[in-house]
Amino acid sequence: MHPTSAPVTPTHCPYCALQCGMGLTAAPGGGVEVVERGGFPVNKGALCGKGRTAPALLSSGARLTEPLVRSRATGKLAPATWEEALDRVADGLSRTRAEYGADACGVFGGGGLTNEKAYALGKFARVALGTSQIDYNGRFCMSSAAAAGQRAFGLDRGLPFPLEDIPRTGCVILVGSNLAETMPPALRYLTELRENGGTLIVVDPRRTRTAEQADLHLAPRPGTDLALALGLLHLVVAEGRTDEAYIEERTSGWEEARAAAMAHWPEHVERITGVPVPRLRDAVRLFCDAGSGMVLTARGPEQQSKGTDTVGAWINLCLATGRAGRPLSGYGCLTGQGNGQGGREHGQKADQLPGYRKLTDPAARAHVAGVWGVDPESLPGPGRSAYELLDALGGDVKALLLMGSNPVVSAPRAAHVEGRLRSLDFLAVADVVLSETAELADVVLPVTQWAEETGTVTNLEGRVLLRRRAVSAPPGVRGDLDVLHGLADRLGHGKGFPTEPEEVFEELRRASAGGAADYSGISYARLAEGEGEGVFWPCPDTEPSYPDPEPSRPNPEAPGPAAGPSSDAGPSSDAGPSSDAGGSPGADVADGAETAPHPGTPRLFLDRFATEDGRARFVPVAHRAAAEEPDAEYPVLLTTGRVLAQYQSGAQTRRVDELNSAAPGPFVELHPRLAARLGVVEDEPVAVISRRGRAVAPARVTADIRSDTVFMPFHWPGEGRANSLTNPALDPVSRMPEFKVCAVRVERARGVERARG
């Protein structure tokens, strides 16, 4: 990145949920390049390698630029016209629906889709297809934290406070997150925390780059985070460190939660977790002696078959110590995918309608049906969760439309999921590249990328942002909204599916109005103003007539550097201490004056929680074993995660030369004692085998992991596909699969070709 005098289009990185601010400008040799955008508060100009190289795929020969249709004669994918491709998809869905019923058609979305696309996809499933069978890969991201947040606080927003609060708190417990590799620009918040005199506790079975920064590193056995949290709460009670006044004033259910925690005494927890009692006591001392504190969780504790209870136990620790709903204190979840927050708020999750409304709520159904102009009775009920939907493919779900996901690599028990995809009567995939999943499709639709389209996203703070179109898409590529319009039109619903993102967002505003995730006070005009800081939801409309934007507003669809230097978001104002779940409406400036716009709600729960009585709820939980524990045949634990240079299923990052050079393929991380027992040396191919499959990758021998545990990153297909091994056992509340722990055995694999992506 370097300064430039050429016009700059302000936008946001297409990858993780930080949604780092960046600028795009014309590159000297053609195309676009990234320039620093130092004024955006989340990253202050800093970018990781993925963000810096994000434009590489815009002009890459690896991307799709024309529709592909599988020939009935040869069985191979071949170029086709858009009309032929859309006709084929509409015919496949129509025939399936006519023969087997609406629920034989499935829809699978992605956490990287903009709010507009997620909204339109949910509406398409429920109105154009009439199916209940829709979910998305965000179910694999933070659904356990969402469920726990709903139970405790009455509302789920990844972080109920801005990232800028983290360095000013007294102590952070970071559970199951390796920010140094998954969200590098966010690591500065933890560095600043320690520079300010605060303390950092990291909970992770590996000594990661993030754990190296900690004042205290706790390395529990995978799958025992629940016992660890309960053990800490036991010590808080035993040492008299509870905040009794706070518990009395702002919570309910404490007696039952306390009794559950007291069954987890320190020595018992040490036997379960492997964390020594003195370290448990150190953690309690550091957390409670600080004047304020936060617990931040990520996929480690969440991607378990007891993930909701595990997160709930950490929330109970916050509540018992008065560390929630107070300035510089609280529980937060570090959302992973780029629009994982907004992607589930507006309708592509199996049980939700736009605005984070419940699909089973008659009032919610009536409101959204009114916006959509349909009978509430015509809306289907909740469908299957993500893995359950994938598992049903080829059974009673015969056809699938998939957008923005690559489950052949990313789903648990991936070989089985690949088999289910192959068994479908019809599969259509809309994607940027020919992913491993797209290779199986009957029709592949090439769609626009982040820099070729305008739309809004919601980052992990609940900050709604505008990403602008900076370049034109190649000929032959269409936007996802155009795809949905074309399909809906062929299914008799074209008028309800506009192709302009701003028009879709205006409808989304109306559909979300009055919901938990209320966006009705946010508009493109507002997001196009100011310094580009975004607007935090909930942000209700103080003028609920939803007037059309002024004709003189900036045009966010103007392509490329010619769009000029105007930024992507309006000013963000602190709502101050008033911050219940719905925010508070603006006040009249004076008699007869216009009502002031709602400022948005950066900090939730400072006055009350979003429950009926305004109190946070303790939920009693108890430790239980993982769905699959080691035994004589499978004596080692496997945990999975990410590496710095790759992202999610790697469908895009594996096509960027610089990133692929930095992380060219999978590996198996194992402790020297385990390696010695197996007779394995560094870089030797090893086989990891579970009850579901086998993966082969080079050994990486390190003392930074527990001796009873191996680690594999999950970005690659083929022999090194980590998700061939993972367990689809589901959390009973969130329906999250147990990615983070399963039983395996590890063997030497000499003579086996080294696994490559």
Instruction: Look at residue 521 and tell me whether its pLDDT is greater than 90.
Output: yes
Nearest-CA neighbor of 392 among 121, 103, 91?
Answer: 103
Instruction: Look at residue 559 and tell me whether its pLDDT is greater than 60.
Output: no
Q: Which residues have a Cβ under 8 Å from the Cβ of 431 and sit 6 or more positions away?
A: 64, 403, 404, 406, 437, 438, 444, 445, 446, 447, 651
Which pLDDT belongs to residue 71? 94
Give φ, ψ of 272 to 5 degrees. -75, -45
Question: Tens digits of per-residue pLDDT, 342-401?
Answer: 888 999 999 999 999 999 999 999 999 999 999 999 999 999 999 999 999 999 999 999
Question: Tens digits of per-residue pLDDT, 610-664?
Answer: 999 999 999 999 999 999 999 999 999 999 999 999 999 999 999 999 999 999 9
* SS3 track for 470-504: CCCCCCCCECHHHHHHHHHHHCCCHHHCCCCHHHH
Instruction: Look at residue 249 and tell me whether its pLDDT is greater than 90.
Output: yes
Query: Exposure pattern of 659-693 as b/e (b: 16+ CB <10 Å)?
Result: bbeebebbbbbbbeebbeebebeeebbbbbbbebb
What the block records as the tokens of 622 is 């108890």
Which pLDDT belongs to residue 545? 54
Instruction: Look at residue 165 and tell me whether its pLDDT is greater than 70.
Output: yes
Which pLDDT belongs to residue 29? 78
Residue 395 CA to residue 94 CA, distance in Å, equals: 18
What the block records as the tokens of 87 is 């006709």
Q: Which residues pair with 710 in a beta bridge?
A: 638
Which pLDDT belongs to residue 594? 62
Question: Tens digits of per-residue pLDDT, 401-429?
Answer: 999 999 999 999 999 999 999 999 999 99
Question: Tens digits of per-residue pLDDT, 531-555?
Answer: 779 999 999 998 765 443 333 333 4
Angle (nearest 5°) at CA 250 between 249 and 252: 100
Residue 226 CA to residue 304 CA, distance in Å, equals: 10
Q: Find the range with the poorest average confidence among 169-183, 290-304, 332-346.
A: 332-346
Q: Which domains does the chain carry?
A: 68-140+339-563 (3.40.50.740), 143-333 (3.40.228.10), 636-748 (2.40.40.20)
Question: Tens digits of per-residue pLDDT, 198-245?
Answer: 999 999 999 999 999 999 999 999 999 999 999 999 999 999 999 999
Instruction: Look at residue 558 and tell me whether its pLDDT is greater than 50.
Output: no
Which pLDDT belongs to residue 338? 86
Residue 648 CA to residue 728 CA, distance in Å, equals: 18
Residue 509 CA to residue 62 CA, distance in Å, equals: 36
Instruction: Look at residue 496 and tell me whether its pLDDT is greater than 50.
Output: yes
Diameter of the chain measured on Cα atoms: 83
Instruction: Look at residue 6 and tell me whether its pLDDT is greater than 80.
Output: no
Q: What share of the chain has pLDDT > 90, as a percent? A: 86
* SS3 track for 342-395: HHHHCCCCCCEECCCEECCCHHHHHHHHHHHCCCHHHCCCCCCCHHHHHHHECC
Residue 538, preceding bond cis, omega within 30 degrees? yes
Question: 509 with 541: CB under 8 angstroms?
Answer: yes
What is the pTM assigned to this prediction?
0.91
pLDDT band at residue 491 under the 50/70/90 scheme:
very high
Average pLDDT over residues 710-734: 97
Question: Tens digits of per-residue pLDDT, 14-63?
Answer: 999 999 999 999 888 778 899 999 989 999 999 999 999 999 999 878 89
Helices (H), 124-186: 143-153, 179-182
For the chain, give the mean pLDDT: 91
Nearest-CA neighbor of 326 among 356, 298, 292, 290?
Answer: 292
Angle (nearest 5°) at CA 338 between 333 and 343: 80
Nearest-CA neighbor of 695 among 740, 754, 742, 642?
Answer: 754
Question: 623 with 613: CB under 8 angstroms?
Answer: no
Which class for 200: exposed (0-12), middle (13-18), buried (19 or more C-beta within 10 A)? buried
Q: In the sheet that 134-136 helps form, which strands lie side by side, from edge to edge?
A: 77-79, 68-70, 443-446, 426-431, 399-403, 105-109, 134-136
Q: What angle do helix axes 501-512 and 115-123 make, rounded to 10 degrees?
A: 70
Helices (H), 491-632: 501-512, 524-527
Give φ, ψ of 556 to 5 degrees. -70, -10
Which pLDDT belongs to residue 5? 64
Conformational region of residue 613, where left means phi above 0, alpha means psi within -120 to 50, and beta covers everything else:
alpha
What the block records as the tokens of 366 is 């009536």
DSSP string, 184-212: GGGHHHHHHHHHTT-EEEEE-SB--TTGG
Instruction: Look at residue 295 and tell me whether its pLDDT is greater than 90.
Output: yes
Q: Which residues have a Cβ under 8 Å from the Cβ of 141 and sit 6 or more positions away?
A: 111, 299, 335, 336, 337, 340
Question: 45 with 20: CB under 8 angstroms?
Answer: no
Instruction: Look at residue 257 and tell me whether its pLDDT is greater than 60.
Output: yes
Nearest-CA neighbor of 23 among 2, 42, 37?
Answer: 37
pLDDT band at residue 68 under the 50/70/90 scheme:
very high
pLDDT band at residue 525 under the 50/70/90 scheme:
very high
Residue 462 CA to residue 600 CA, distance in Å, equals: 10
